[in-house]
Structure 1
Amino acid sequence: MYAVSVSPSLLPRSWWWQAVVSGVLASLGYVVGVVIESTGTLILRLTDLTISASPATETGLRWAAFVIFMIWFIRSVVQSFIHARSAAQLVDMPGPRISSIVLGLLGAFVLFHVIIGVLDALLWMLATLVTFLARWIPMWIALAVGCAIIVALLILLTSKVIIAGGVTFFSRKAWEMNNRTAKGIFRPEVPERSGSHHSLVSWASVGGQGRVFLGRGPSRHDIEEVTGREALEPIRVYAGMPTGGQTLADAADMVVRELERTGAFERAVIAVNTSTGSGWVDEWEVQPLEYLTCGNCATASMQYSYAPSSLHWMTGLDHCVEAAIMLYQAVKKAVDGLPANQRPALYITGESLGAFASQAVYTDLADVMRQVDGALWVGTPSFTPMHQELTEKRHRGSPEVAPVVDNARHVRFATGPEDLRHDIYGRELGPWHFPRIIYAQHPSDPVVWWTGRLAWYQPDWMREKAGRDVSPSMEYTRIGTYLQVLADLPVAGRAPGGHGHTYHHELIPMWKELLGLGDAERPNTLTDGQWADDAMLRRIGHAISANIALSERQ
């Protein structure tokens, strides 16, 4: 199982994460081996079967088995090391080094003995408990009761001590982060931003991620300098997490009041962004829209929690969905209250947990197309129902990493900008009608591909091997692949742009297509977008990178 643990996965891992995966899998392999040995011994006893050999033969067989195993083991590890380095090149990340392999092996050795030690202690407790109970009740009842007590004890320790303690610790850290302001972030001065002196929302109330969202981004002058075109000051509104008896509905109403105050309903485009669990809004989802519309847009979001998305996955997702519904419905109601010929085009966006919650607003794809003018969902988690349903309905011959649904008339799954007009095999797609919906998903993004079913079921995306940045040497192993991709999750956001859970420059052409710039007809009042050629998109990308680099990540 150790050889399996060091085989290629979606992303290269640090030695300590590798040690965790290797230690757990090695322990699992050891336990399976013990079970097989015990079962075989029991069968031999029940059948009164004896297998014997001379001492010399027995010694020879043991040495032969050991040599064969070591040759296979060394070959597997070396081969996995080579394949892992090749896989790392596909995602533009440094591959494993000999030193990291050695450290990972040592760490796995320690963890293996810790896990086996815990299991031995549990077995000792079970044996002691059963022996004690067997004085008064039959052995089989004592065994059943003993097992039940040990299982109950494990559940109690896991849920009430380990998980609850971990949630409390990370929640406290998240609260501290929510109260700080990242370096390089300053209170906005322009009235088009929430949190400014003109705003109904205080700078202190929007939380750490809200301050980053409101303190970053291009000004009107920045847009004019990059595009060479006349621009408006982009509007950004944000409401902090409800406090003091306030509700999510109150926060959503505040967002609408801020949109009204800033004149957002007079802009060509309004984008409703569902933030992640901590309140984070990705600049790469917002700034491309601001540049491509020359500032003739508004982006609205709000905070519903300060905890990381991973904690929401553990403790429940209902709060995220409720926030997404409240925000969207409040903005949609305000837009629908305007005369039909004066309404801004309405777009929805979200990344990761935000993409999940944003899609939960709608009953199905038809409902999305009835209500909005476009959607950009980035790094959608595997447990999102609408994403699952559309993927299952894909055309024959289109892979799971980039499905083609309904001839791509409205929905396009894109691993990169090249998938917007062609499928992943280079075949041209048909006409793209409005409203347009884009799922941005990298083949190497574990957030999109990790699921509980990986423990026992080989998914199509592994069988098809269509991902451009996933090694063809990645093979499926029950339990092993599940743990490998699970261990990829913590490092997914550290991958370079264009890989893993990091979506950067590729979102610029996606926004261009979503808005219909360059198309004769589009669902908004924007002027012709022929000026936004490939060279201009690259300039915009450089400008966004430079703007983000001015401040630290919250």
Structure 2
Amino acid sequence: MTRVLDTLRRLWDIWLPSVTGLTVAALAAWVSLMPSLLPRAWHYQGIVTGVSMFVGYGVGVALRTLWRKFVAPQIKLHPDLDALGNKLLLFARLSAPYVLVVYLITATATAIRWQDQVSDLVESARPPWADYMRIPWIALAIFIGLLVAARGLRRLYQLFVRVVSRKFKLGENTARLTGAVLATVLAFGIVQGVVPRLFFEAANRISGAQNTEDLPGTTRPTVPERSGGPESVVNFDDLGLQGRRFVSGGLDQAELTDLMEEPAEQPIRLYAGLESAETDDDRSALVVEELNRTRAWEREAVVIVPTTGTGWINPHAAQAIELLSAGDVAIVGTQYSYLPSWISFLADREKAEAAGRSLIEAVVGWRQSLPPDVHHPNLYLYGESLGTQAGEAAFSGIRDIRNTVDGVLWMGPPNSNRIWRSLVERRDPGTPATEPVYADGLLVRFSEDPAEFRDDDTPWIPPHVLYVQHATDPVVWWTPDLMFDRPAWLSEPPGKGRHPGMTYMPVFTFFQVTADLGNAIGGSQGYGHLYDHQILDGWAAVTGREEWDDDEFVRFARLHDRAMESQERG
């Protein structure tokens, strides 16, 4: 027994972990395992728990420091109580690290029920029990690694203070203050300048290289109705990876006719990439040239799609509207960035908005400039995720939208969307934030599942503007306000798929939803940030398609599934 205690003491002397820090780290670990919006894979949950423990440990150390400096000196205990307290504290210090390991394993085992329930709610497969039990070891590895790194930085700081104190003959407190100021300035500069610059430069280089890649099955169009094809004013090689995927994807006229067993038009797909022209306005002008070249005014509808991140257009959305219109439609988009959508959300939101505004204004201006005796196609707007923010940027509000286009379908809008947020905040009293009602649903509608509009005859004044948003989509609900403000959606009965055990805790909920952002497509279709299976119902609602009922949906869903068999989502 003595030998064991000696070993524990030696390990303690090496590591000197804070009991308070470990206690708060354990609390943070427990919170990280509580229900959130979406289920997490074991390795991702391990990372989230490990980082949470490290943050909790730092909070605990800060609390201990404040206690020792300001509270403990004011407390006087009887010598016997003081001696007993020191013995208990010694025991706690020796046993705390090992208790933490046992606690983490036990907490994970008890949290499995929560994770299984979240998986069931979003109709996702439950991971094997053995996978869950890997979480503690990943979490401990992450926690220890971060702790070692932090202690290394602390030792560098202490060394700096000693060197400054000796060289400049400063007092210890002055040297410490100088070191703290310089460390803060350096850290702020790195976080605000160096790290983001290096990160975005690296992301740009990697994404730029990917932008020039050739995807299997991506070939230059052979029909004039596609950008990059015969007679196009846009070079196929300049469209970027996602642009080339878009114009070479989808069913052509013959395939549509064969699939639908009725005559179909050749769908028009027009696009301009970053390499097609230098500015947003120049790229938008190229799209307008393409609209004129392909005689797009003869089509029943033109769909404007402000893209997300790399210039991606959801092939499910494009194929759905082409099926519903039997190909009598033109779809247009432009690229504004190489970066993936989540990086663009951090760094390129202004670029996304500028590109969306330019494209929408150019196409709206094109339709308005058509001669009176020429057919004026319906103008629809589609956006997904960051694409909704790019689309909103062209308008001052809901009245401006309704006066400009003939319908809007926006899926998974980020919480930072200006128009969306103002509508949700001004929703009709008594309606939930997850599915708000604005002006009795006459002007704009919100839906967790647009299947509710099949056979719907409630008043909805055209043009139809529809936001589709899931109660489990972290992109929709994440905001910095979660740090200290309880959001409305967590004060209401849970929306579809959200675990009723998810409650609001200042700071902790912010980190939970932030972690969910990295796992936004971790559920199944119809939950989280996955909207593909709801696009058909969304288009039918926005275009005011007549006699759209369950039977029609099933028929087109089958056609859509067959059409997408040879197409990758990207």
Task: State if a TM-score over 0.5 links the two structures.
Answer: yes
* Range 11-20 or range 297-306, more displaced: 11-20
Residue number in structure 2 paired with 1:380:
413
**CA deviation after TM superposition for structure 1 residue 257, in Å:** 0.9
Task: Give the AA of the match of 2:40.
Answer: R
Shift of 1:71: 10
* 2:557 pairs with one of 517, 541, 551: 541
Alignment coverage as a number of residue pairs = 535
1:453 aligns with 2:481: yes
* Residue pair 1:206, 1:241 contacting (<8 A) in 2 also: yes
Note if contact 1:408-1:429 (Cα within 8 Å) is conserved in structure 2.
no
Instruction: Please tell me whether the aligned partners of residues 367 and 376 of structure 2 are also in contact (alpha carbons under 8 angstroms).
Output: yes
Distance between the aligned counterparts of 1:241 and 1:363, measured in 2?
Answer: 27
Instruction: Work out whether 1:287 is the aligned partner of 2:319.
Output: yes
Structure 1 position 186, deviation (Å): 2.5
- Paired position in structure 1 for 2:131: 100
Q: Say if 2:48 is the partner of 1:21.
A: yes
Is 2:104–2:136's contact at 8 Å kept on the other side of the alignment?
no
Conserved 8 A contact 2:239-2:272: yes
Q: Deviations over 1:336-357 (max 9, x none)?
A: 0124573111111111111111
Query: By how many angstroms is 1:450 displaced?
Result: 1.4
Structure-2 change in CA distance of 1:316 and 1:144 (3 Å): farther
Whether 1:119 aligns to 2:150 is: yes
Pair 1:55–1:352, CA change in 2 (3 A): same
- Asked if 1:496 corresponds to 2:528, the answer is no
The answer to whether the Cα contact below 8 Å between 2:306 and 2:383 also exists between their aligned partners in 1 is yes
Partner of 2:16: none
Structure 1, residues 152-209: CA drift from partner, whole Å, max 9, x if none? 2223443455433332332222122211222223222222111212322222111110
Are 2:462 and 1:434 equivalent residues in the alignment?
Answer: yes
Structure 2 gap segments, 5+ residues each: 1-27
Give SS of 2:520's match: helix
Structure 1 residue 16: Cα displacement = 2.6
Corresponding residue of 1:417? 450
For the 8 Å contact 2:319–2:563, the answer to whether it is kept is no
Cα distance in structure 1, aligned partners of 2:569 and 2:261: 29
Structure 1 residue aligned with 2:368:
336
> Which residue identity does 1:192 align to in structure 2?
E
Residue 83, structure 1, aligned to residue 114, structure 2: yes
Provide the rounded CA distance (Å) in 1 between the counterparts of 2:313 and 2:192: 31
Counterpart of 1:6 in structure 2 is 33
Give the C-alpha shift of residue 118 in structure 1: 2.6
Question: Is the 2:232–2:290 contact (alpha carbons within 8 Å) kept by the matching residues of 1?
Answer: yes
Q: Secondary structure of the residue that 2:331 maps to in structure 1?
A: strand
Query: Distance in 2 between the 1:477 and 1:332 partners?
Result: 46
CA gap 1:131/1:408 in 2 versus in 1, 3 angstroms: same
1:38 aligns with 65
Output aligned runs, 1:40-189, within 5 Å: 40-47=67-74, 49-50=76-77, 52-53=80-81, 76-134=107-165, 136-137=169-170, 140-189=173-222
SS at match of 1:298: strand
Deviation at 1:317, TM superposition (A): 1.8
Comparing 394-403 with 169-178, greater Cα deviation is found at: 169-178
Secondary structure of residue in 2 paired with 1:492: coil
Q: Deviations over 1:201-238 (max 9, x none)?
A: 22211111011111111223333344443321111111
Q: Secondary structure at the match of 2:466?
A: strand
Question: Is 1:326 the counterpart of 2:358 in the alignment?
Answer: yes
Equivalent position SS for 1:506: helix
Q: What amino acid sits opposite 1:544 in the alignment?
A: H
Q: 1: CA distance between counterparts of 2:271 and 2:358? A: 14
Distance in 1 between residues matched to 2:351 and 2:406, nearest whole Å: 26
Q: Which residue of 2 aligns with 1:509?
A: 537
Normalising to structure 2: TM-score of the pair? 0.86
* Residues 212/543 of structure 1: CA separation in 2 closer, same or farther (3 Å cut): farther
Amino acid at match of 2:459: P
Q: Is the 8 A contact 1:5 1:25 kept in 2?
A: yes
Secondary structure of the 2:134 match is helix
The letter for the 1-side match of 2:533 is H
Which moves more between the two structures, 302-311 or 215-224? Answer: 215-224
SS in 2 for 1:154: helix
Q: Comparing 478-487 with 127-136, which one deviates more in the overlay? A: 127-136
Alpha carbons 1:287, 1:544 under 8 Å: kept: yes
Distance 1:326 1:311, change over 3 A: same
Q: Distance in 1 between matches of 2:313 and 2:82?
A: 72
Shift, 1:465, TM fit: 3.4
**Mapped partners of 2:552, 2:247: distance in 1:** 25
**Structure 2 vs 1, CA of residues 128 and 71 (structure 1 numbering), >3 Å: closer, same or farther?**
closer
In the alignment, the residues of structure 1 paired with residue 552 and residue 148 of structure 2 have an alpha-carbon distance, to the nearest angstrom, of: 61
Cα–Cα, structure 1 residues 147 and 71, in superposed 2: closer, same or farther, change >3 Å? closer
User: Under a length normalisation based on structure 1, what TM-score does the superposition of the two structures give?
Assistant: 0.89
RCO greater where, 1 or 2, for CA within 8 Å and sep 6 or more?
1
Once the two structures are TM-superposed, the CA of residue 447 in structure 1 deviates from its matched residue by 1.1
Within 2, Cα distance between the matches of 1:415 and 1:316?
A: 28
The equivalent residue for 2:240 is 207
Aligned to 1:523: none
Deviation at 1:411, TM superposition (A): 0.8
Gapped regions of structure 1 (runs ≥ 5): 423-427, 519-529
> CA–CA distance in 1 between the matches of 2:517 and 2:232?
38
Q: Contact 2:454 / 2:550 at 8 angstroms: preserved in 1? A: no
Pairing of 1:341-356 with structure 2 (within 5 A): 342-356=375-389
Contact 1:11 1:91 in 2 (8 A): yes
| Structure 2 equivalent of residue 485 of structure 1 | 513
- 8 Å Cα contact 2:250/2:567 also seen in 1: no
Matching residue of 2:280: 248
C-alpha distance 429-166 of structure 1, shift in aligned 2 (>3 A): farther
**Which residue does 2:4 correspond to in 1?**
none
Q: Contact between 1:7 and 1:81, CA under 8 Å: does it hold in 2?
A: no
Deviates more, 1:221-230 or 1:497-506: 221-230
CA distance in 2 between counterparts of 1:465 and 1:80 reads 22
Q: Give the drift of 1:137.
A: 4.3
Separation (CA, whole Å) in 2 of partners of 1:131 and 1:47: 31
CA distance in 2 between counterparts of 1:4 and 1:218 reads 48
**Cα distance between partner residues in 2 of 1:73 and 1:301:** 49
Q: Distance in 2 between matches of 1:540 and 1:411?
A: 25
Partner of 1:406: 439
